[in-house]
Amino acid sequence: MKFNRQEILSRLRNQVEQKKAILMFGAGTGLTAKCAEAGGADLIGIYSTAIFRMQGFPSILAWLPYGDCNEHMFRMAKNILPMVKETPCIAGVGAHHPGIDFERTIDRLQRLGFSGVNNEPFSGLYGEFFSSQLERAGVGFSREVELIRCARKREFFSVAWTMSAEESARMSAAGADIIGAMIGVTSGGISGSKVVMSLEKAVEEVQKMVEAAKRENPEVMILTHGGPFADPVTAEYSLKNSGAVGYASGSSGERVPTEEAVITVTKKYKDMKICI
């Protein structure tokens, strides 16, 4: 483990005191993680969603049964962790498998050099009906809460993704250091969601999550993510109008900028003239 919980909290709170937004950057490759650190990211998230988006597929494929999310994450970590020198890395753990032992998983994460954990994939994205079925079967959101509770007991830093005020309150009460207020799949780019709620409605939903989380723990920090929050302008709008203190980029920090940069430079190369 490179950084302990108190070291990370001190770093982040210092940022907030200086009126600087916290940035958590979700990385699917060593190169993007390396670049994110050079750009000043405060946290770097490593989770299975990114392996799909950086192969050109929609991120939401990570929520379908096409692989073991935790094995994806551990394989990615071998290539990404060595690229990050001075930034805490947060591991996305799928908590729902009945056989997973949270204590042993956290031990393994610490040995690898992770500084924290988050709940990814998260069941809230499945919608109310399927999420309730998972919960009744004992493999739903409550397992995610237990992961975060275990992390807090171990003094291991945690980021908890939530998709409602109720989820935010439960994760805050469980001891999450950061609540990631999630507004669905990120829009924009070639593979992004084409239908998202308005900025105004998204901010209203974030506000509910902020209020619910802070009722349980006034010290918890909230980051916004997803939906129409797809670039620096919309991300800043979400912060100025919600009470959140930072932003978590995923596709918006990695996939969309990569798509735009590669398309632009390819067009420029194709504009070259030859002399014959």
Task: Give the whole-angstrom CA distance, residue 220 versus residue 14.
Answer: 14
Please report, rounded to a whole number, the percentage of residues in the chain having pLDDT higher than 90: 78
Mean pLDDT of 119-135: 90
Q: Is the pLDDT of residue 253 over 70?
A: yes
Question: What was the pLDDT predicted at 38?
Answer: 97
Kindly report whether the global pTM for this prediction surpasses the value 0.85: yes
pLDDT in tens, 8-21: 999 999 999 999 99
Going by C-alpha positions, the residue among 83, 61, 82 that lies closest to residue 72 is 61
Task: Give the whole-angstrom CA distance, residue 235 versus residue 223.
Answer: 10
Task: Give the whole-angstrom CA distance, residue 141 versus residue 125.
Answer: 11
CATH architecture entry for 5-270: Alpha-Beta Barrel (3.20)
Task: Give the whole-angstrom CA distance, residue 220 versus residue 199.
Answer: 24
Q: Which residues contact 94 (CB under 8 A, 6 or more apart)?
A: 48, 68, 69, 70, 100, 120, 121
Instruction: Report the 3 state secondary structure along 28-71.
Output: CCHHHHHHHHHHCCCEEEECCHHHHHCCCCCHHHHHCCCCCHHH
Listed by start position, the domains of the chain span 5-270
Q: Which residues contact 53 (CB under 8 A, 6 or more apart)?
A: 28, 59, 191, 250, 251, 254, 255
- The secondary structure of 202-227 as a DSSP string is HHHHHHHHHHHHHHH-TT-EEEEEBT
- The secondary structure of 144-164 as a DSSP string is HHHHHHHHHHTT-EEEEEESS
